[in-house]
Structures are given as structure tokens and as C-alpha cells.
């Protein structure tokens, strides 16, 4: 009862053991109990913390488990890894470890305090108590702990009022410098608000508006990571619209807009019930930018090559796509125009704009033309007598065009086509 005595009861009266057993798979509950028992044997205290506790109350599935230990976190992780024969990756410098089970992962960390030497710095870390560890967190709804210790298993430890904020649907920071210390919390908070249908508590929203400019203290890589996580949401347009309204999107990159148009194309991207790739959402977010603006954003947030290509192709294709707005353009010409573009960029253009005719051709390319293959390959062409080298590529391209336009159907047609076009008949 160390913690309860030291820090007051918080919400200990509430026991969530039954909730845990109802909402989490039995295997996970078993591992959590074992973690408590193992910790007990070495005089440590173990708690389940963070997003999984929040989601427990909301009935949302979450299998990214975080356990905080007052004591030896890595020792506990090692014992659990041995007991369950699972892979362990540990970072002794940070006192953290990750266990990978088949269907879930378990992060185990030493309870710690954090201090920020300057705004946006990565925090300096020192071992601390569970209360220190909860206090260092972003929002009260992410700062609740469930005790895993034998005899107290399931006791909610909530010294910062997270449960009450959950009940009132509020996203609340834990102190007035929270966004100054770590401005990524601005984007995190918006995500929680919009994902959970919550709203910022009044003072939190005031602080957020005050501190929006602190986003400039965050590196491009960290900002990109937050944007990527936002684009992984079920309905990213909600967070993007809110970020626009709060001036956050503009702080990320001036030309970005989270407007009604974006919401419309994002909804269109989800038609048919599938979850679009985050890269498609990114291309749509950038669709309205000029090529120069898009290049600036990619640079600013240090996007990797794959995403750069998709985004730049999106805005470049936007300028070309009207060439496809003709009824008598041949399939081979559609292929010729589109085959060098990234497929995600083509999909973004299909969703975002263009005339009905151009769209029909984009659709035709994505659903059919891009898969068209000739029956003969380079080896066949060489056997027929085409000189090995660039001539083979040229002949294959011509053959593919003929197939796209329906001029050849069978293997024999292809052989005939090559003979008549590329080989002298004598």
C-alpha cells in the first residue's frame, strides 16, 4: 500500500478488475496478473498505464500495453520473457523493455520524472514514483494507472482526476507549461478530442491557442510522425479540420487546409468500407498545393522518398490529367501518360478532381490497364530474332500497346505482330 499511503487514494475505491476481464482477452489479463506477482517477489510495484487504461473505460480495443514499474523494470521484463518464451528488446539506458507476444505487445518502463531543458527538447529522465510518472504525461485521460499487485489487482490509481475528465469528455493538460515543454501534445490532444468525441477543457484550449507557435520548437521528423499518426485515424478529416480551426495546420505548414473539400474527398476515399492508406490521405491533403508548396512541405517535414514521390506525382499529374478528358484517346495512350506516376498519386487524382471522362480513364488504368502484360517476354523476342539490347524493350512496349488497344489477343497474334513490325519478312 506504499503508493496509496504516500500520495492519497486518488480513485482507488474504483476497482476495474471485472472491466479488465470483460474487455481484454484472457491471455492479456493472465500476463498482467503474472507481471504483478513477479514484481511482488522482487519488492517492485507494477501498474498498467496510459492509453490502454483510457480505452478500457471507453470500450475501445487496445493491445498496446504499457506497464510502469516502481523498481526494476528490465528485471521484470526478463522474467516475463522467460516465463512466456517471447522476444524481449530492452534499453537499459532508459530502463525500458518491450515484449512481443503473438497478438499484443507489452512495454515495461521504470517509473520516472521528466524535465525539459528548453521547449521542444527531449526530456531528461530520472527514476521516480508512479505519481511522478503520471504527472509527466500529456493529458489526465492518459494519466491513470491500474494496480497489478496481488491483493490490489485492478485498483484504479487516479491522482490527477483522469476518470472524472473521461466522464465529462474532457481533454485536459496537467499543468500550464505542458504544450511549451512538448508541443507535439497539441497534435496528440486534437487527435484524442476528435477520435473520442471529447473537447478540450476550457483552460487547456486557451493554453493550446497561446502555445500553437511552440510547434516551431519541434523537429520536422517529430512533426511528420504526428501528422502520420493523424492520418492513421479512422476519420482524419475531423482532426485536420480542428487543427485548421485552431491555427495548428498553418503552423505545421502555411499552405495546408483542413476544409470541407478535404472532408468530402476523404469520405469518398472510404467509400466501399475500406481503410485508405495514410499515403493516400497525405496526397489528398497536398492535392491543393502548388508543386513548389508541396516540395516545401516534404522538405520541412523530412518525408522519406516513397511519400515524396507520391505527393509530387499527385500535384504534377493534376496538371496533366485533362489530357485524358477525351472520348477517343486510346488505352495505350492512357497507359503511356500514367504508367510513370505513382499509383497512389493516380488514385488521389481520381478522387480529387478532373472531368468525368478523365476520371473514367484514371479508373480504367487503375483497375485494368496497369495489369496488362504481354504473353511473349524478352527471351521469346530474342528467340524470334530481335537483337538483344534496347530493341527488345522497344518491341515489348509496342507489343503491350497493341495488346492494350485490342490489336493482339493470342500468342500467335503477338508473334505475328512482332514479325510484321520488327523483323524483315524475307
Give the strand pairing for 105-110 and 64-70: parallel
State yes or no: residue 184 binds ligand CTP (CB under 6 A): yes
| Selected binder of ligand CTP within 142, 194, 204, 230 (CB under 6 A) | 142
| Selected binder of ligand CTP within 7, 33, 37, 51 (CB under 6 A) | 51
State yes or no: residue 194 binds ligand CTP (CB under 6 A): no
Stretch that binds ligand CTP, among 138-146, 273-281, 385-393, 394-402 (CB under 6 A): 138-146
The 8 Å CB, 24+ separation contacts for 46-52 are 46/70, 46/76, 46/148, 46/149, 47/130, 47/145, 47/146, 47/147, 47/148, 47/157, 48/145, 48/146, 48/148, 49/133, 49/134, 49/143, 49/144, 49/145, 49/146, 50/137, 50/142, 51/142
Min CB(71)–ligand CTP separation in Å: 19
How many residues bind ligand CTP, per CB under 6 A? Answer: 12
| Selected binder of ligand CTP within 38, 45, 70, 138 (CB under 6 A) | 138
**Taking CA 416 as the corner, what is the angle to CA 414 and CA 421, rounded to the nearest 5 degrees?**
95
| Selected binder of ligand CTP within 10, 36, 50, 120 (CB under 6 A) | 50
> What are the backbone angles phi and psi of residue 342, rounded to the nearest 5°?
-60, 135
Stretch that binds ligand CTP, among 136-144, 248-256, 342-350, 377-385 (CB under 6 A): 136-144
Q: How far is CA 251 from CA 32, 92, 157, in A?
A: 41, 37, 37
Min CB(229)–ligand CTP separation in Å: 7
Min CB(134)–ligand CTP separation in Å: 8
Stretch that binds ligand CTP, among 82-90, 180-188, 361-369, 388-396 (CB under 6 A): 180-188
Burial 31-66 (b: 16+ CB within 10 A, else e): bbbbbbebbeeeebbbbbbbebbbbbbeeeebeebb
Following DSSP, what letter does each residue of 55-90 receive, concatenated? HHHHT----EEEEEEES-HHHHHHHHHHHHT-EEEE
Min CB(388)–ligand CTP separation in Å: 54
Nearer to ligand CTP, 98 or 270 (CB): 98
Binding mask 228-267 for ligand CTP (x = CB under 6 A): ----------------------------------------
Nearer to ligand CTP, 211 or 342 (CB): 211
State yes or no: residue 211 binds ligand CTP (CB under 6 A): no
Residue 377's Cβ-side half-sphere holds a number of Cα atoms within 13 Å equal to 1
State yes or no: residue 185 binds ligand CTP (CB under 6 A): yes
- Whether the CA torsion 86, 95, 71, 137 is positive or negative: it is negative
> What are the backbone angles phi and psi of residue 277, rounded to the nearest 5°?
-65, 145
State yes or no: residue 21 binds ligand CTP (CB under 6 A): no
Nearer to ligand CTP, 185 or 242 (CB): 185
Cell of 170: 474532457
Which residue, among 295, 277, 283, has the nearest Cα to 349 in the 3D structure?
283
Give the strand pairing for 145-147 and 124-127: unpaired
State yes or no: residue 137 binds ligand CTP (CB under 6 A): yes
State yes or no: residue 288 binds ligand CTP (CB under 6 A): no
Stretch that binds ligand CTP, among 183-191, 234-242, 263-271, 318-326 (CB under 6 A): 183-191
Min CB(64)–ligand CTP separation in Å: 5
Q: How far is CA 319 from CA 99, 218, 287, 315, 335, in A?
A: 49, 34, 11, 7, 17
| Selected binder of ligand CTP within 165, 182, 342, 414 (CB under 6 A) | 182
Stretch that binds ligand CTP, among 137-145, 198-206, 274-282, 378-386 (CB under 6 A): 137-145
List contacts with ligand CTP (CB under 6 A).
50-51, 64, 66, 137-138, 142-143, 182, 184-185, 188
Amino acid at each position: 500500500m506504499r503508493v496509496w499511503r504516500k500520495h492519497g487514494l486518488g480513485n482507488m475505491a474504483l476497482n476495474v478488475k471485472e472491466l479488465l476481464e470483460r474487455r481484454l482477452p484472457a491471455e492479456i489479463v493472465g500476463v498482467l496478473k503474472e507481471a504483478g506477482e513477479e514484481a511482488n517477489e522482487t519488492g517492485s510495484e507494477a501498474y498498467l498505464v496510459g492509453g490502454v487504461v483510457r480505452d478500457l473505460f471507453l470500450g475501445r480495443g487496445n493491445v498496446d500495453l504499457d506497464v510502469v514499474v516502481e523498481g526494476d523494470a528490465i528485471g521484470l521484463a526478463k522474467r516475463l520473457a522467460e516465463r512466456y518464451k517471447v522476444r524481449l528488446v530492452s534499453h537499459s539506458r532508459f530502463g525500458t523493455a518491450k515484449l512481443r507476444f503473438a497478438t499484443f505487445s507489452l512495454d515495461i518502463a521504470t517509473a520516472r520524472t521528466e524535465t525539459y531543458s528548453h521547449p521542444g527538447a527531449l526530456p531528461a529522465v530520472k527514476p521516480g514514483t508512479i505519481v511522478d510518472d503520471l504527472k509527466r504525461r500529456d493529458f489526465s485521460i492518459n494519466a491513470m494507472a491500474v494496480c497489478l499487485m496481488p491483493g490490489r489487482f485492478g485498483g484504479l490509481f487516479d491522482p490527477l482526476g483522469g476518470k472524472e475528465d473521461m466522464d465529462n469528455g474532457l481533454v485536459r493538460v496537467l499543468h500550464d507549461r505542458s504544450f511549451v515543454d512538448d508541443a507535439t501534445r497539441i497534435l496528440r490532444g486534437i487527435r484524442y478530442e476528435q477520435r473520442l468525441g471529447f473537447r478540450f477543457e476550457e483552460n487547456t484550449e486557451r493554453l493550446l491557442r497561446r502555445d500553437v507557435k511552440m510547434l516551431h520548437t519541434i523537429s520536422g521528423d517529430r512533426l511528420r510522425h504526428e501528422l502520420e499518426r493523424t492520418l492513421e485515424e479512422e476519420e482524419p478529416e475531423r482532426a485536420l479540420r480542428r487543427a485548421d480551426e485552431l491555427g495548428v495546420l498553418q503552423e505545421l505548414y502555411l499552405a495546408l487546409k483542413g476544409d470541407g473539400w478535404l472532408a468530402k474527398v476523404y469520405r469518398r476515399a472510404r467509400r466501399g468500407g475500406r481503410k485508405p492508406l495514410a499515403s493516400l490521405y497525405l496526397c489528398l491533403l497536398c492535392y491543393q498545393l502548388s508543386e513548389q508548396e508541396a516540395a516545401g512541405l516534404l522538405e520541412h517535414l523530412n518525408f522519406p522518398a516513397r511519400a515524396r514521390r507520391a505527393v509530387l506525382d499527385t500535384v504534377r499529374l493534376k496538371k496533366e490529367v485533362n489530357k485524358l478528358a477525351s472520348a477517343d484517346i486510346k488505352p495505350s495512350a492512357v497507359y503511356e501518360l500514367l504508367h510513370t506516376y505513382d499509383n497512389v498519386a493516380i488514385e488521389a487524382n481520381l478522387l480529387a478532381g478532373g472531368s468525368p471522362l478523365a476520371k473514367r480513364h484514371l479508373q480504367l488504368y487503375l483497375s485494368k490497364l496497369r495489369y496488362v502484360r504481354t504473353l511473349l517476354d524478352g527471351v521469346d523476342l530474342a528467340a524470334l530474332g530481335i537483337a538483344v539490347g534496347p530493341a527488345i524493350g522497344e518491341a515489348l512496349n509496342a507489343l503491350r500497346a497493341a495488346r492494350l488497344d485490342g490489336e493482339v489477343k493470342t500468342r500467335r497474334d503477338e508473334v505475328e505482330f512482332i514479325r510484321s513490325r520488327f523483323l524483315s519478312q524475307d
